[in-house]
Structure 1
Amino acid sequence: MDNKIKNIAKTGYVAKGAVYALTGILAFGAAIGMGSSSEGKLGVIKFLEEQPFGKVLLGLLGLGLLCYSYWRFFQSIKDPENIGNDHKGIGKRIGFFFSGTVYLGLGVFSLYEIFKQSDSSGSAKSEMLPTEYLPYIFYAIAVGMAIKSIFQFVKVYNGNFLSKFHLNKMSNRKTIKTIKWLGYAGWISRGIVVGIVAYFFFKAADTAYQGDIKGTEDAFSFLRQNSEGPWLVGLVALGLICYGAYMFIKAKYRRFND
């Protein structure tokens, strides 16, 4: 595989790690009563936008996410690591394509936030979509997210996510342990959040025409409503921070099958 493609993939992993780490940090801050409750991927963009040199940070994040999107599309279409064309391989490659689409949108949105004019309100959320089709779109998203959540836990059970590191060729036991612990904590937390988001999309399908779009921020709000809410939010938030750190480690130690 071309080194340029590998570097694009690694840049993308760093950007994705930044998104998840900041999501976890913001959620953890909200759980212990510090900072705002603006959680989720869009909350991360808003947070960065408000920082000194915010537009520079958003630009770097946006470009990194576009790199990750490109890598996912490349995996889906070119199949550089020979995943194959059997049912399992096709399923994975379709998953890569949808992942690329999501992060393409997030990357474009990050860059859009740099150049947009500050106008009075942002009301037009779902007006571009025919409202009569929104419930079906929401149901489809709910099913897709539910399947994704299940696959997160299957990966945890099988430990498949560790195969790309070639741990048997590593000599540093501390690095191996770090990769495993961060990976397991991160994947479990991500599976929980994705599952809750799927539930929200399913629940919101009947009122989708109202533009009641759910996301990670609503997932944390749902956790917070429980009597042990702050503890649950805190644990899941720490897990997402672990997932972000895992992505940073993945950028360094992930091995590509040429």
Structure 2
Amino acid sequence: MNGTAMNGIGKMEAATRMGFAARGIMYLLIAFLALWWGRAEDGPDALKLLDSGAGRAILAVMALGFFAYGIWRLAEVFIDSEGHGSKAKGLAVRAGGTVSGIIHLGLGVYTARLAAGQPAGASGGGSGGGGGTEEGAATALSLPGGEWLLMLAAAALLGTAVVNLVKAIKGSFLKQLDSRAAAQDWVKWAGRGGYAARGVVFAIMAWFFWKAGAAASAEQAGGLGEALGWLTGWPRMAVAIGLGLFGIFSLVEARYRRINDPKVLARLQNAGRRLTP
């Protein structure tokens, strides 16, 4: 791989690490709002906390990070940059990267608009959030077989919940970190707590989407904010703490995630050769 290509990959890696940091800040804001002010918000609504003064400079950097992270996740799908393979399990993981990539590109657009002081559009109002989720559900219901589309989304969310819970139990996420960070007990428990909390939230969201599909009612669909708001008492506090731990773990990933693994670079090089006339 020539120097120009390596330089490009280096810049992309740096920007992707910014994406992990941006994700970490977003989850920390969600946890802060839930634990300090008792507000259950989704990611976009939590980002509004930075929508003033110096906070907009932070939002601008976060927007770049979200864009880079989204592109990186989409790269998993098209060129298998993480080497998941083409078997059923690998294809399922890569398909999940498509959803994550699109979501983070959307977060990049939303955050960039906030940073520019422009109206970012409705992302869910009130303490429950989920307005954008309801709009998406309503769009799905307007299509032929919309109810089944929502039920399919519910199944996908449930699958994501299971994947997160399995990661929490097995600690498999440590394999993606530099050994110096993976050896730290606090990193392991931050990751476990974070993935467990996300598993709970995604499971609740799956239930919301299933009900929305079964009743053909977009109002019953809900995002992260509504899932968190559905919980009460100590379960909500425990999940909020877990989401905060996931924010901390994401910041660890920003520094120690194995992005420039030699095997990944080799796959990128091979992909580049295939794309070159």
Residue deviations 1:175-209 (CA, integer Å, cap 9, x gap): 61121111111111111111111111112224555
Task: Provide the rounded CA distance (Å) in 2 between the counterparts of 1:92 and 1:130.
Answer: 24
1:126 aligns with 2:140: no
The equivalent of 1:34 in structure 2 is: none
Match of 2:229 among 221, 224, 240: 221
Work out which structure has the larger RCO, using CA pairs closer than 8 Å and 6 or more positions apart in sequence: 1
Task: Provide the rounded CA distance (Å) in 2 between the counterparts of 1:40 and 1:207.
Answer: 24
1:17 aligns with 2:18: no
The equivalent of 1:183 in structure 2 is: 191
Specify whether residues 54 and 254 from structure 1 end up closer, same or farther in structure 2 by C-alpha distance, changes over 3 A only: closer
Written as runs of structure 1 = structure 2, the 5 A alignment for 1:1-258 is 2-31=9-38, 37-49=39-51, 51-113=52-114, 114-116=117-119, 126=135, 129=139, 131-133=141-143, 134-167=146-179, 170=180, 176-206=184-214, 210-224=218-232, 229=233, 231-256=234-259, 257-258=261-262
Task: Provide the rounded CA distance (Å) in 2 between the counterparts of 1:95 and 1:160.
Answer: 17
Q: Which amino acid aligns with 1:249?
A: V
Task: Look up the SS of the partner of 1:126 in the other structure.
Answer: helix
Q: Which amino acid aligns with 1:189?
A: A
Q: Which amino acid aligns with 1:69?
A: G
State TM-score, norm by structure 1: 0.82
Task: Provide the rounded CA distance (Å) in 1 between the counterparts of 2:246 and 2:23.
Answer: 10
Q: Which amino acid aligns with 2:66?
A: L
Q: CA deviation at 1:140?
A: 2.1
- Paired-residue identity, %: 28
Q: Which amino acid aligns with 2:159?
A: I
Q: CA deviation at 1:10?
A: 0.8
Specify whether residues 248 and 129 from structure 1 end up closer, same or farther in structure 2 by C-alpha distance, changes over 3 A only: same
Task: Provide the rounded CA distance (Å) in 2 between the counterparts of 1:210 and 1:239.
Answer: 28
Task: Look up the SS of the partner of 1:52 in the other structure.
Answer: coil
Task: Look up the SS of the partner of 2:249 in the other structure.
Answer: helix
The runs of 5 or more residues in structure 2 that have no matched partner are 1-5, 126-130, 263-277
CA-atom RMSD, angstroms?
A: 2.8
Q: CA deviation at 1:11?
A: 1.1
Task: Look up the SS of the partner of 2:142 in the other structure.
Answer: helix
Task: Provide the rounded CA distance (Å) in 2 between the counterparts of 1:23 and 1:130.
Answer: 27
Task: Look up the SS of the partner of 2:139 in the other structure.
Answer: coil
Residue deviations 1:105-144 (CA, integer Å, cap 9, x gap): 222122234323899xx99973983643343332222111
Specify whether residues 129 and 244 from structure 1 end up closer, same or farther in structure 2 by C-alpha distance, changes over 3 A only: same
Residue deviations 1:83-103 (CA, integer Å, cap 9, x gap): 222222222111111110111
The runs of 5 or more residues in structure 1 that have no matched partner are 32-36
Is the CA contact (8 Å cut-off) linking 2:60 and 2:112 kept in structure 1? Answer: yes
